[in-house]
Amino acid sequence: MSGRFDVTDFTRDVLVRSATVPVLVDFWASWCGPCKMLGPVLEKLADEANGRWTLVKVDTDRHQDLAAEYAIRGIPDVRLFHGGKQIAQFSGALPEPHLRRWLEENLPSPTRAALDQARAALAAGRFAEAESLLTPLAVERPGDRDVIALLARAIVFRDPDAALARLQGLAGDDVDLVRSFALVLKIRAEDLQESSARTPLLAGLAELRAGRFAEALRLFIAAMEESVRYADAAAKRACLAIFKHLGTHHPITLEFHRRFSMAAT
């Protein structure tokens, strides 16, 4: 059975259909040279997919309204839809190996869904939930670096040493983040000298272990305002790790970053 369809009704053929199966939309035209190279490859892969995803072709000359609606600036332009929404896109004619890799990286799957749920749980401070999602994946995919690094991020808040042990031999931004958290989370009260920064730093660490990032940042910044360099700049390092963990556009990052910058100077 062919996995290719020419669009007749975009809402039905793409948006509604993508609720049950991912739909790859190829915006093309008969006069477009790169389209003639990419189109047959897409059709071949759609046939091979055996129903895992569907290809819908949109001739931009015949469907200028759709080309305008989706702001098509050049062709070929390929969009992947799932659940009624666009989830990925590329322009130009990719070679077949690159196209296969792009599809594998972007097509929804149970593993990808679990990873997305785990990332959302981590960002919300629900570490036990993230760990429960990631532990079976780590058993199924023992060599998957992304799974291992995410699981270490979930574990580090309750057991920094166990998280570090999982990262043996690995490198990368996620690994560096776990190590940053581990260094500050291993701080104990008996390790700290007396200082006006001591109480807010310890309170911030307790909030961090509980996944309450906003309160942790408030306390760490309070510690920085007393002494930025206290405990080898632990409060500053903790703030930077939280910002990296949440991302630059997270509401909590946006709320606290300016105050952090002022305290860090």
Do the bridges between strand 4-6 and strand 23-28 make them parallel or antiparallel, or are there none, so unpaired?
Answer: unpaired
Q: What is the pLDDT confidence band of residue 51, given thresholds at 50, 70 and 90?
A: confident
The pLDDT of residue 2 is above 80: no
What is the topology classification, in CATH, of domain 187-264?
1.25.40
pLDDT tens digits, residue range 85-101?
999 999 999 999 999 99
Average pLDDT, the chain: 93
CATH of domain 4-106: 3.40.30.10
Omega cis (within 30) before 110: no
Whole-prediction pTM: 0.68
> Which pairs from 185-193 meet CB under 8 Å and 24+ separation?
185/156, 185/157, 185/160, 185/209, 186/160, 186/161, 187/231, 187/234, 191/231, 192/231
- Position 254 scores a pLDDT of 96
> Which pairs from 4-12 meet CB under 8 Å and 24+ separation?
4/42, 4/43, 4/46, 4/47, 4/54, 4/55, 4/56, 4/57, 5/54, 5/55, 5/56, 5/57, 6/56, 6/57, 6/59, 7/56, 7/57, 7/58, 7/63, 7/66, 10/58, 10/63, 10/66
Residues ≥6 apart with Cβ < 8 Å to 119: 130, 150
The pLDDT of residue 234 is above 90: yes
Read off the amino acid at residue 253: T
pLDDT tens digits, residue range 143-197?
888 899 999 999 999 999 999 999 988 888 889 999 999 999 999 999 999 999 9
Q: What is the pLDDT confidence band of residue 141, given thresholds at 50, 70 and 90?
A: confident
pLDDT tens digits, residue range 104-119?
889 987 788 888 899 9
Closest listed residue to residue 172, CA positions, set 137, 144, 142, 145 = 145
The set of catalytic residues is: 32, 35
- Position 125 scores a pLDDT of 95
- Position 171 scores a pLDDT of 86
- Position 1 scores a pLDDT of 42
